[in-house]
Amino acid sequence: MRNIIVTEMKQVPLEEQRIEVVERKGLGHPDTICDSIMNEVSVKLSQEYIAKFGTILHHNIDKSLLAAGEVETRFGGGIVKKPMKLIFGDRATFEANGISIPVEEIAVQTAKNWFRENLRFVDPDVHVSYQIEIQPGSSALTDIFRRGGRVLEANDTSAAVGWAPMTETEKTVLTTEKYLNSEGFKKRFPESGEDIKVMGLRRDDELELIISMAFVDRFIEDERDYFEKKAMILEEIRKFVEGNSGFEKIQIQLNTLDAPGRGLDGIYLTVLGTSADGADSGQVGRGNRVNGLISLNRPQCSEAAAGKNPVSHVGKIYNLLTHEIAKDIYANIPGVREVYVWMLSKIGRPIDQPIVAAVQIIPDSSESFDKIRKEAERLVDYRLEDIEEFCMELACGKISVC
């Protein structure tokens, strides 16, 4: 029997609270770059291990730094004076059964492919240098994989929490960034870089969005051209948000540090569309949570999921699974207004047997809570029983981590 506890939560749902703050760091933000690439390295390593050994071997590629380069921005197109540096860490299996795994080559090639596919103006062979600091894993953690079994033992004592549903503020912040980094938007506004951050503040039924967007200098002729194009983009954002949300009042600001009359010093220009080209560094774990947002009103998991192995590291598995279970409960059990799911692992215990799986539900009083509790217990038990399939979805990169 699994230790599943479902309780009624006496709390005002976040949607009805007076203040809400939500942030999303977009595709080209240095922190998001690190999370995205390191998780993709884990996916590629998992595929390599399965191809050669029929199973996923020990690895955790969840330590990384993207050190900013140096550029000179200019109207009409600047220059890169020093490339960004991407440092890969932590641990992986380099050899098993006398067979070598090209961990370093996989890591670098994966990063280069990600840059090519996601950042239009970054040449990964020219604008980025690479430093590999991935080492073999410890004997104790590596032995978890040698023990085998249908499900592996947890390689850490760790807690995670997920919730559902998203509020209107959360959905608006998320969809706004995705729209601004969509292929269609970039075709219409090529001067818009991929490094976009959306900060949302809701006061009752009024929403304020503060957006930071890196402009690409090759598309900007002079200061006047910058502010004209900025005004056009701001109006496009306003139309999108007003057409896709239902707030009583919406206020949107873009690049609030801009100061007309100061030339290059008073506007947000980049050479490559990301502040990492010459201003801002990034790290794994400093960006979005696994549902793509930083929701300051919500409980947070301290683990960085990106890059951790998908079959024994509960910092990844539970981090994502709690959100998936919360969404399942909200979508499939009548009478649930808001739900929070917590899981706590113990190192060495099978991952399908957490010390506790706790569910907190705010009901709407339309259903018996006893009925809600039994359905939630059944659903949690089902998802834990099916955890092997969930881990393989993580291994294949089918579930986003940022």
Report the CATH number that the domain containing residue 70 is assigned in CATH.
3.30.300.10
286-344 tens-digit pLDDT: 999 999 999 999 999 889 999 999 999 999 999 999 999 999 999 999 999 999 999 99
Residue 150 has pLDDT above 90, yes or no: no
Over the Cα atoms of the chain, what is R_g?
23
- Asked if residue 161 and residue 59 are part of one domain, the reply reads no
Residue 333, domain member (yes or no): yes
What pLDDT, on the 0 to 100 scale, is given for residue 166?
98
Residue 193, domain member (yes or no): yes
- What is the spatial distance between Cα 170 and Cα 201, in angstroms, rounded to a whole number? 10
- Asked if residue 335 and residue 262 are part of one domain, the reply reads no
Q: H-type helices in 103-167, by residue range?
A: 103-118, 139-147
Query: Is 238 in contact with 214 (CB distance < 8 Å)?
Result: no
What pLDDT, on the 0 to 100 scale, is given for residue 302?
85
> 202-235 burial by CB neighbour count: b if 16+ within 10 A, else e?
beeeebebbbbbbbbbbbbeebeebbebbeebbe
Q: Residue 255 region, left (φ>0) first, then alpha (ψ -120 to 50), else beta?
A: left
Structurally, the chain folds into a number of domains equal to: 3
Pick the more confident residue, 152 or 296. 296
Query: Is 282 in contact with 31 (CB distance < 8 Å)?
Result: yes
Structure-token pair, residue 275: 């502040």
Sorting pLDDT into bands at 50, 70 and 90, what band is 144?
A: low
Sorting pLDDT into bands at 50, 70 and 90, what band is 151?
A: confident
Q: Is residue 109 packed enough to be buried (19+ CB in 10 Å), middle (13-18) or exposed (0-12)?
A: middle
CA distance to 95, 107, 129, 243, per residue, from 111 (Å): 22, 6, 11, 36
What is the pLDDT of the chain when averaged over all its residues? 96
Greatest Cα pair distance, the chain, in angstroms, is 69
Provide φ and ψ at 361, rounded to 5°: -125, 130
What pLDDT, on the 0 to 100 scale, is given for residue 138?
72
Residue 98, domain member (yes or no): yes
Residue 235, domain member (yes or no): yes
- Asked if residue 331 and residue 239 are part of one domain, the reply reads no
Instruction: Give the domain-ending residue among 259, 283, 307.
Output: 283
Residue 402, domain member (yes or no): no
Instruction: Give the domain-ending residue among 265, 283, 301.
Output: 283
Instruction: Give the domain-ending residue among 253, 283, 313.
Output: 283
Which residue is it, tokens 């020219």? 126
Residue 367, domain member (yes or no): yes
- What is the spatial distance between Cα 283 and Cα 32, in angstroms, rounded to a whole number? 8
Residue 361, domain member (yes or no): yes
Residue 143 has pLDDT above 80, yes or no: no
- What is the spatial distance between Cα 43 and Cα 2, in angstroms, rounded to a whole number? 30
- What is the spatial distance between Cα 279 and Cα 287, in angstroms, rounded to a whole number? 17
156-194 tens-digit pLDDT: 999 999 999 999 999 999 999 999 999 999 999 999 999
- Asked if residue 292 and residue 245 are part of one domain, the reply reads no
Structure-token pair, residue 200: 């949302």
Cα angle 88, 93, 98 (rounded to 5 degrees) comes to 140
Sorting pLDDT into bands at 50, 70 and 90, what band is 348?
A: very high
- What is the spatial distance between Cα 274 and Cα 295, in angstroms, rounded to a whole number? 23
- Asked if residue 291 and residue 279 are part of one domain, the reply reads no
Q: Hey, how many other C-beta atoms are within 10 angstroms of the C-beta on 64?
A: 27
- Asked if residue 314 and residue 291 are part of one domain, the reply reads yes
Q: What DSSP string describes 45-56?
A: HHHHHHHHHSSP
Domain holding 223, by residue range, is 168-283
Percent of the chain with pLDDT over 90: 94
Structure-token pair, residue 316: 């990844």
Q: Hey, how many other C-beta atoms are within 10 angstroms of the C-beta on 107?
A: 25
Helix then strand then coil, in percent of the chain rounded to 5, is: 35, 30, 35
What pLDDT, on the 0 to 100 scale, is given for residue 140?
61
- Asked if residue 175 and residue 217 are part of one domain, the reply reads yes
CA distance to 3, 355, 393, per residue, from 156 (Å): 18, 12, 21
What is the bridge-based pairing of β-strands 356-363 and 4-8? parallel
Q: Residue 296 sits in a domain of what CATH number?
A: 3.30.300.280
Q: Residue 214 sits in a domain of what CATH number?
A: 3.30.300.340
Cα angle 253, 27, 322 (rounded to 5 degrees) comes to 105
- Asked if residue 369 and residue 272 are part of one domain, the reply reads no
What pLDDT, on the 0 to 100 scale, is given for residue 137?
80
Percent of the chain with pLDDT over 70: 99
- Asked if residue 161 and residue 302 are part of one domain, the reply reads yes
Residue 122 has pLDDT above 80, yes or no: yes
* Entry pTM: 0.95
Task: Give the mean model confidence (pLDDT) for residues 46-65.
Answer: 95
In 3D space, the residue among 248, 241, 268, 246 whose CA is nearest the CA of residue 257 turns out to be 268
Residue 400, domain member (yes or no): no
Asked if the bond preceding 165 is cis, omega within 30° of 0, the reply is yes
- Asked if residue 40 and residue 139 are part of one domain, the reply reads yes
Residue 57 has pLDDT above 90, yes or no: yes
Residue 139 has pLDDT above 70, yes or no: no
Residue 197 has pLDDT above 90, yes or no: yes
Of 25-29, 142-146, 270-274, 365-369, least confident by mean pLDDT is 142-146
- Asked if residue 391 and residue 341 are part of one domain, the reply reads yes
- Asked if residue 50 and residue 140 are part of one domain, the reply reads yes
